[in-house]
């Protein structure tokens, strides 16, 4: 990129570096701005043009052999003073002091300017005046700045991971990327992947919401009432039925949510009288509660799939560590023959993650478009049913092919480490009679075929859901037409 910039813009290497850094490593942007108004770009990025450079140097020459350093005011022979090309010359010691203080200031060191004017100090010069230790710091900052400013690069969010992930082209929709260290994140917002929710803002809004009141919403639903005017949830904090909303300052009766009459000091509607008609405020109250209930509905499902996806991830590890080996042993088969279970498990994990986000999506997306909502719930339902089927097949239907589980907890604790199980297997404890072994092997072949099938179907349902969501559920219209 630097070579390309040098050739096209006709600048020196250090200028190309500075320019690209100034334009966040966006070559096109740098080139466009450069050709539009070279002088302005030079000014803002602190690059001095050749003519000014020459003039400054001639002016310095003509002012004599011994000149003063602009910082320490000591006199030096002219060749002991350094400038970045502007009219300000400093001695080595002062330059060293300046760049060292900049390195200790932090990330901004990559954009170090002359102490007296905006002229940019090139990287090579910063290095020249830094101690080895500070140069290491500088390298770190340079790397960080490169990563943070380059739109096509993202540092991995994994703990202690020093990798970065690069894309060739900026994704139009958020994509989930996975680092070699195992960490997975959304390339655009660098937080938990939220495919198929395509808007990082929606994902963030949802995360903020569930983190702020997710835990409390059930409690709130049971213990609070929505303010009849502003619908904020209100908790009764005293014995009196006269409620005063601290947000919108309206006064109302806790029992019927009607207005409060402060004259005779009672509920204005005299709600001790049963009328049986639910109008006005009652409806408003219902709306406030509905909105909470709606949130809890989506939140519970989001949460359940999140927990299930974590469980599925643990299953992947468990199968990898022990269960597969047991299966291979018991079914007298090879590793290649049982890989299908891992495929299925990974599919389950992935689908759970996708499914949980579909609930966040649904919470925000369907305010009024009923046909889209129905269409969405239809394909979401397909996927969810298939997922549950596959999940059950892995968890329960596999049991006949595995050694019987210990019955009570005490026993479980004694035999639970996988190594013990394998040892016992080698002792032949779980050997079956030959005819039973044969029928089991047949069943296993059937089970395998079903599992592979179901995995494929689930994959298809998932792809449909994800691609429909990416298209904004346009499929809903087709359904309407065919109806």
Partner 1 sequence: MADASSLPRRILKEAQRLQQEPIPGIAVEVSETNLRHFFVVVEGPRGTAYEGGKFKLELFLPADYPMAPPEVFFRTKIYHPNTDKIGRICLDVLKDKWSPALQIRTILLSVQALMSAPNPDDPLRENVAEHWKTDEHGALQTAREWTAKYAK
Q: Which residues are catalytic?
A: 240
Kindly tell me which of 118 and 400 has the beta carbon lying closer to partner 1.
118
Contacts with partner 1 by CB under 8 A: the residue count is 14
Residue 82: enclosing H or E segment and its boundaries? strand 81-82
Kindly tell me which of 7 and 116 has the beta carbon lying closer to partner 1.
116
Residue 288 CB coordination number (10 Å): 21
Task: Give the single-character DSSP code of 271.
Answer: T
> Residue from 21, 56, 83, 100 that binds partner 1 (CB under 8 A)?
100
Task: Give me 278's structure tokens.
Answer: 């639910």
Q: How far is the CB of 470 from partner 1 (least distance, A)?
A: 45
> Residue from 10, 37, 58, 105 that binds partner 1 (CB under 8 A)?
105
Kindly tell me which of 99 and 308 has the beta carbon lying closer to partner 1.
99
Residue 120 CB coordination number (10 Å): 25
Most distant CA atoms of the chain, gap in Å: 106
Bridge partners, residue 194, by sequence: none
Bridge partners, residue 253, by sequence: 242
Q: How far is the CB of 71 from partner 1 (least distance, A)?
A: 5
Site for partner 1 contains 74 (CB under 8 A) = yes
Q: Select from 90-98, 127-135, 402-410, 469-477 the region that touches partner 1 (CB under 8 A).
A: 90-98
Peptide bond into 196 cis (omega under 30): yes
Residue-wise over 175-203: b if at least 16 C-beta within 10 A, else e?
ebbebeeeeebbbbbeeebbbbbbbbebb
Kindly tell me which of 133 and 438 has the beta carbon lying closer to partner 1.
133
Kindly tell me which of 75 and 293 has the beta carbon lying closer to partner 1.
75
Task: Give me 394's structure tokens.
Answer: 């892995």
CB 395 within 8 A of CB 330: no
Binding pattern for the stretch 108-127 against partner 1, x by CB under 8 A and - elsewhere: -------xx-----------
What CA–CA distance (Å, rounded) separates 394 from 335? 17
Q: How far is the CB of 97 from partner 1 (least distance, A)?
A: 4
Task: Give me 379's structure tokens.
Answer: 């394909």
Task: Give me 274's structure tokens.
Answer: 């049963």
Q: How far is the CB of 48 from partner 1 (least distance, A)?
A: 17
> Residue from 1, 50, 61, 72 that binds partner 1 (CB under 8 A)?
72
Site for partner 1 contains 97 (CB under 8 A) = yes
Site for partner 1 contains 133 (CB under 8 A) = no
Binding pattern for the stretch 376-415 against partner 1, x by CB under 8 A and - elsewhere: ----------------------------------------
Burial class (CB in 10 A: 0-12, 13-18, 19+), 206: buried
What CA–CA distance (Å, rounded) separates 60 from 72? 18
Give the Å distances, CA to CA, from 448 to 174, 312, 353, 390: 35, 19, 24, 12
Q: How far is the CB of 100 from partner 1 (least distance, A)?
A: 7
> Residue from 94, 220, 355, 421 that binds partner 1 (CB under 8 A)?
94
Q: How far is the CB of 102 from partner 1 (least distance, A)?
A: 9
Kindly tell me which of 83 and 188 has the beta carbon lying closer to partner 1.
83
Kindly tell me which of 70 and 418 has the beta carbon lying closer to partner 1.
70
What CA–CA distance (Å, rounded) separates 387 from 384? 5
> Residue from 101, 223, 413, 416 that binds partner 1 (CB under 8 A)?
101
CB 97 within 8 A of CB 105: no
> Residue from 73, 238, 274, 396 that binds partner 1 (CB under 8 A)?
73
Q: Note the residues at the interface with partner 1 (CB under 8 A).
A: 70-74, 88, 94, 97-98, 100-101, 105, 115-116
């Amino acid at each position: 990129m630097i070579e390309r910039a040098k050739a096209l813009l006709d600048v020196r290497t250090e200028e190309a570096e500075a320019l690209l850094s100034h334009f966040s490593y966006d070559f096109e942007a740098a080139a466009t701005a450069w050709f539009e108004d070279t002088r302005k770009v030079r000014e803002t990025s602190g690059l001095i043009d050749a003519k000014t450079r020459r003039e400054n140097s001639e002016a310095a020459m003509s002012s004599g052999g011994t000149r003063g350093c602009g910082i320490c005011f000591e006199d030096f022979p002219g060749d002991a003073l350094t400038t970045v090309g502007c009219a300000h010359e400093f001695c080595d010691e002062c330059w060293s002091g300046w760049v060292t203080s900049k390195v200790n200031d932090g990330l901004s060191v990559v954009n170090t300017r002359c102490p007296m004017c905006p002229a940019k100090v090139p990287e090579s010069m910063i290095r020249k005046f830094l101690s080895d230790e500070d140069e290491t710091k500088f390298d770190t900052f340079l790397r960080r700045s490169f990563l943070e400013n380059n739109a096509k690069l993202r540092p991995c969010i994994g703990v202690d991971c020093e990798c970065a992930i690069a894309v060739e082209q900026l994704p139009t929709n958020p994509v989930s990327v996975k680092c070699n260290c195992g960490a997975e994140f959304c390339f655009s917002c660098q937080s938990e992947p939220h495919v198929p929710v395509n808007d990082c803002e929606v994902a963030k809004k949802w995360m903020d919401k569930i983190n702020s009141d997710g835990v409390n919403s059930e409690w709130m639903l049971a213990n609070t009432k929505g303010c009849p005017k502003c619908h904020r949830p209100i908790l009764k904090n005293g014995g009196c039925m006269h409620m005063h909303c601290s947000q919108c300052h309206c006064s109302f009766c806790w029992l019927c949510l009607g207005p409060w009459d402060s004259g005779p000091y009672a509920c204005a509607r005299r709600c001790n009288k049963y009328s049986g008609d639910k109008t006005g405020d009652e409806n408003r109250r219902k709306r406030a509660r509905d909105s909470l209930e709606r949130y809890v509905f989506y939140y519970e499902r989001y949460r359940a799939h999140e927990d299930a996806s974590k469980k599925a991830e643990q299953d992947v590890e468990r199968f990898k560590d022990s269960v597969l080996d047991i299966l291979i042993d018991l079914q007298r088969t090879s590793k290649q023959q049982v890989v299908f279970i891992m495929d299925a498990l990974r599919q389950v994990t992935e689908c759970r993650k996708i499914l949980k986000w579909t609930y966040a999506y649904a919470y925000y997306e369907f305010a009024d478009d009923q046909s889209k909502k129905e269409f969405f719930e239809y394909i979401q339902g397909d996927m969810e049913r298939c997922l549950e089927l596959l999940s059950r097949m892995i968890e329960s239907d596999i049991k006949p092919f595995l050694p019987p589980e210990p019955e009570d907890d005490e026993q479980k604790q004694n035999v639970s480490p996988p190594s013990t199980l394998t040892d016992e297997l080698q002792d032949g404890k779980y050997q079956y009679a030959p005819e039973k072994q044969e029928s089991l092997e047949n069943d296993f072949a059937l089970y395998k075929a079903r599992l592979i099938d179901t995995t494929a179907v689930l994959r298809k349902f998932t792809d449909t859901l994800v691609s429909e969501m990416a298209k904004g559920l346009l499929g809903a219209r087709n359904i309407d037409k065919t109806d």
